[in-house]
Amino acid sequence: MFNKRVKISELLTWEPQFQEVIVMGWVKTFRNNQFIALNDGSTNTNLQVVAELGLLDENQLKRISTGASLKVAGTVIPSPGKGQKLEVKASTIEVLGDSDAEKFPLQPKEHSLEFLREIAHLRFRTNTFGAVFRVRHALAFAIHEFFNKKGFVYMHTPVITASDAEGAGEMFRVTTLPLENPPKNERGEIDYSQDFFGRSTNLTVSGQLEGELAAMAFSDIYTFGPTFRAENSNTTRHLAEFWMVEPEMAFYDIEDNMNLAEEFIKYIIGYALKNNRGDLEFLAQRLEKEESKLPQQQRSEMGLIQKLEFVLNNQFERITYTEAIDILLASPAYKKKKFDYEVKWGKDLQSEHERYLVEKHFKKPVIVTGYPKDIKSFYMRVNDDGKTVAAMDILAPGIGEIVGGSQREERLDKLEERMREMHIPVDQLWWYLDTRRFGSVPHAGFGLGFERMVQFVTGMTNIRDVIPFPRTPKNAEF
């Protein structure tokens, strides 16, 4: 029966001793009416199934086509073929689901990533996306394992919220009001008091504020869930729906925060290297092949696995924002006017600046601290200089910012002052301010964009290729 099937990833570890076995999967190729390459998604390595001549009638042979699903019962035998120690000699083959070979979009050839995005419902069946999403799974599991080992409480923060944690205003509205004729108040504005929640609500941009509430009771918590930004940005780095990991820790300062973030990143990279070596080796070969088409100066100095092991085995560089600006102003790239964006104290670092610091100057991940308060969020603790905040960003090769965090402002008067400066409605966030009224403590936290982390570990250059179904401007297919 179905519950007796053996996964191909497990079967390939066996020593062939003529065991009876049942395997199931999808046909990758079928050669000479005899040799079936079968894959069930547990590994990129196909299992060779041998159907001896005469086992199948003509009608069955026609049904074994690329994409068809099979149930195979047979015997595990040593394989005479190169690169495989075993194969399955079939005694029975049952077609579970037919596939019209002429219409099936995934022919046994190389497909472009652009084409595969158009058939995202089928791209999981390719070797590239099989590897990417097994690594994504491993990283997600490692995140939970890391925090669980440290005694953190996993907190589910709301997807529907009335607050804008970032103050950016790029939010998706949630409403049940009739769009063709919404109710209006006496000022001619939409009357959200008649909406489902009795007020204006949106999809969350961050679970941080709610996470802070929980940290004031449990000390150490983390959230891991979807977040949404209605940012009309069609780049290889942005999604409208993406996943964030956001730990919040009571009794932490900015240095504790940096230490935890660095340990966290190294842990999940180490987990993938240990448990998904085959997938990463496949992705490393794929990346090397892709980069061979680029000019020499655009190629990575390290291979994918070499880069991951380098990050694992080296301390992250730590510099202040002011030091970062000085480095950029003194750089050959700045002097030769290679940067598209202005480099000036008080301006936010752009991706090109972040990547220069990481890839050209330090050649390793960098943690930048002490950003100007005017370009950072209201909840970040103001430093003694009155100009900067206790913020930290971790910059990674190939991507730029991968983690953003800060020590939070625990002083009620300072927080209210910052909120008024930045026009954040103090009255609407009364519940957040209560954490500063009743037993406030120094605390800190950060957010890691999960898809950017998956990009970094897999070497994929477009963020749309590391999430199952990308949501981008004008695209909500599947």
Q: In terms of Cα–Cα distance, which of 251, 220, 246, 244 is closest to 152?
A: 220
Rounded Cα–Cα distance for residues 255 and 442 (Å): 12
Q: Is 434 exposed, middle or buried (0-12, 13-18, 19+ CB in 10 A)?
A: middle
Q: Are strands 317-320 and 443-449 parallel, antiparallel or unpaired?
A: unpaired
The span from the first CA to the last CA of the chain, in angstroms, equals 32
DSSP assignments along 139-178, one per residue: HHHHHHHHHHHTTPEE----SEES--TTS-----EE--S-
Contact residues for 413 (Cβ-Cβ < 8 A; gap 6+): none
Q: What is the pLDDT of residue 53?
A: 87
Q: What is the pLDDT of residue 463?
A: 94
Q: What is the pLDDT of residue 168?
A: 58
Would you give the DSSP letter of residue 129? H
Q: Helical H runs in 162-226?
A: 208-218
Q: In terms of Cα–Cα distance, which of 352, 327, 354, 357 is closest to 341?
A: 352
Q: Helical H runs in 292-425?
A: 304-313, 321-329, 332-335, 351-355, 412-421
Rounded Cα–Cα distance for residues 24 and 399 (Å): 39
Helix or strand or coil: residue 94?
strand
Q: What is the pLDDT of residue 238?
A: 85
Q: What is the pLDDT of residue 166?
A: 62
pLDDT averaged per 10 residues, the chain (length 478): 87 96 96 95 96 90 95 96 91 96 88 92 95 98 98 97 72 94 93 94 94 98 96 85 97 98 98 97 94 83 91 95 97 94 96 93 95 96 97 90 96 96 90 96 97 96 95 89
Number of Cβ within a 10 Å radius of residue 274: 10
Q: What is the pLDDT of residue 390?
A: 98
Q: What is the pLDDT of residue 169?
A: 61
Tokens describing residue 459: 């070497």
Name all domains of the chain by residue range, CATH numbers in brackets. 2-108 (2.40.50.140), 125-170+205-465 (3.30.930.10)
Name residue, tokens 């079939």: 90
Q: What is the pLDDT of residue 165?
A: 64
